[in-house]
Amino acid sequence: MSRALVILAEGAEEIETVTTVDVLRRGGVQVTLCGLGGSEPIKCSRNVVVTPDKSIDEAMLSVPYDAVILPGGPGHTLLAESSKVKELLVAQESSGKVIGAICAAPVVLLAHGICLGRKLTSYPAVKDKLVDKYQYTESRVEVDGSLVTSRGPGTTIEFALKLIEVLEGPDVAKQTATAMII
């Protein structure tokens, strides 16, 4: 069973956070939702409050993860400023393990110098920040080796299913999609 870490910051996009966690768990991935600021409930971008499983400090005691996943939303700026997020991402990239980023979260990769030159996609409003350092595409979900990126809230289920495919294989992804009537 693969292990994934989803990092939640104040202002995160709730669809991208909760749906990704939900779909991954349906696909048999052991997901830890960690709070950047601790394990207290966190208010997301549309005022939905989500309680992390643990703090980022606690989550870092259990590295490595098979995947580290970053939701977008205004909270991406906090992820981009965090030295702990950088530490996790540098370790993921150097070990060839999966990094997932959706919506504005690819800007976090740029801020920390992660996966430079690789193919990725993002929310259209942050495209201009990324085109000079990455091979930017307009794909709904983009995979470049161990890097999985996606456009935004409306592509979250596709993003999560692609992560399952990368982590657990295409058969598990297909079974998960079928069970969800997709």
Q: Tens digits of per-residue pLDDT, 47-99?
A: 999 999 999 999 999 999 999 999 999 999 999 999 999 999 999 999 999 99
pTM of this structure: 0.98
Strands (E), the chain: 3-8, 30-35, 42-43, 49-50, 54-55, 67-70, 98-102, 119-120, 135-136, 141-144, 147-150
Residue 110 · residue 133 · CB < 8 Å: yes
Residue 14: partners with Cβ closer than 8 Å, 6 or more residues away? 44, 45, 46, 48, 50, 73
Strands (E), 71-139: 98-102, 119-120, 135-136
* Alpha carbons 4 and 72: distance in angstroms, whole number: 17
Confidence of residue 46 (pLDDT cuts 50, 70, 90): very high
Which residues on adjacent β-strands are paired with residue 142? 149
CA distances, 123 to each of 61, 68, 137, 153 (Å): 32, 19, 11, 9
Give the mean pLDDT of 155-174. 98
Match 């997901």 to its residue by tokens: 31
Residue 103 · residue 16 · CB < 8 Å: yes
Q: Which domains does the chain have, with CATH numbers?
A: 3-175 (3.40.50.880)
Radius of gyration for the chain, computed over Cα atoms and rounded to the nearest angstrom:
15
Quick: pLDDT tens for 123-159. Answer: 999 999 999 999 999 999 999 999 999 999 999 999 9
